[in-house]
Amino acid sequence: MTEKSAGLVVVDTGTANLASMLAALKRLGQSPELTSDPVALAEARLAVLPGVGAFGQAMSRLAALGLEDAIRARIAEGRPLLCVCLGLQVLCTASEESPGIYGICAIDARVRRFADRPGLVVPQLGWNLVAPLADSRLIEPGYAYYANSYRLEAIPEGYTGATSDHGGQFVAALERGPLLACQFHPELSGAYGHELLGRWLARARAC
């Protein structure tokens, strides 16, 4: 396995807490490299797009670095990509968090804020039960850690994945081949997250 960790890049989004993702990947024996270079992102065998603060800010950063096309291309070509939290949301067309700003538009869906309802704590900060769809191959049932105020309400056509419940069902994760986009943070989800990252790495390396 000389190339065990070759070509795993983590997109350096400037504001994200990248250290947790890097530490989690290192605990899995990987040697992730940070990049903000579109060519490196396009050419890497495996890529990770971590959570990045607010939707609008994230999109302007991705646009300024010229990374949108590389992300869109990886998805269109079915090449290994892991997106986390806001990394999932920016794949969509837009978000209530930043009205008037387009996302990457790889997924035809809009991101909305959790319902404003008495007794529903927002942001959702904590561990929630993840329930995979029957045809999910990567996601197991279990508890994962969330830190979000916005979410996708339904799994779009062409994807499998998992759901959780916080004042109603929402998308916990989307999956299609070696693309895994998690609303929760696998890198902060203890043994559950460690194992999920391990399965994604194995699937991605087999591509």
Partner 1 sequence: MLTLRVIPCLDVDAGRVVKGVRFSGLRDAGDPAERARAYEAQGADELVVLDVSATPEGRSNATDTVRRVREVLGIPLTVGGGVRSVDDARRLLEAGADKVASNTQAAVDPPLIDRLATTFGSQCTVLALDAAKRQDGDGWELVVRSGKERTGRCAVAWAREAAARGAGEIVLTSWDRDGTRAGYDTELIQAVASSVRIPIVASGGAAHGEHMIAAVRAGASAVLAASILHDGETTVLDLKRALAAAELPVRT
Residues 6 or more apart in contact with residue 179 via CB below 8 angstroms? 74, 75, 78, 80, 81, 83
* Closer CB to partner 1, 69 or 153, in the complex: 153
> Does the footprint of partner 1 cover residue 168 (CB under 8 A)?
no
Helices marked H in the chain — which ranges?
Answer: 18-27, 38-43, 55-65, 68-76, 86-89, 190-206
Among 66, 190, 202, 207, binds partner 1 (CB under 8 A): 190
Among 19, 76, 134, 206, binds partner 1 (CB under 8 A): 19
Active-site residues, by number, are 85, 185, 187
For 57, list phi and psi in degrees, rounded to 5: -65, -40
> Does the footprint of partner 1 cover residue 23 (CB under 8 A)?
yes
> Does the footprint of partner 1 cover residue 165 (CB under 8 A)?
yes
Q: What residues numbered 102-131 form the site for partner 1, per CB under 8 A?
A: 120-129
The candidate with the shortest Cα–Cα distance to 75, out of 49, 101, 102, is 49
CB of 43: closest distance to partner 1 in angstroms?
26
CA separation for the pair 94, 13 (Å, rounded): 19
Q: What one-letter code names the amino acid at 19?
A: A
CB of 46: closest distance to partner 1 in angstroms?
20
> Does the footprint of partner 1 cover residue 151 (CB under 8 A)?
no
Q: Which two three-digit tokens encode residue 42? A: 């396009």
- Kindly list the residues in this chain that would bind partner 1 in the complex (CB under 8 A): 15, 17-20, 23-24, 26-27, 53-54, 120-129, 143, 145-149, 165-166, 185, 187-191, 193-194
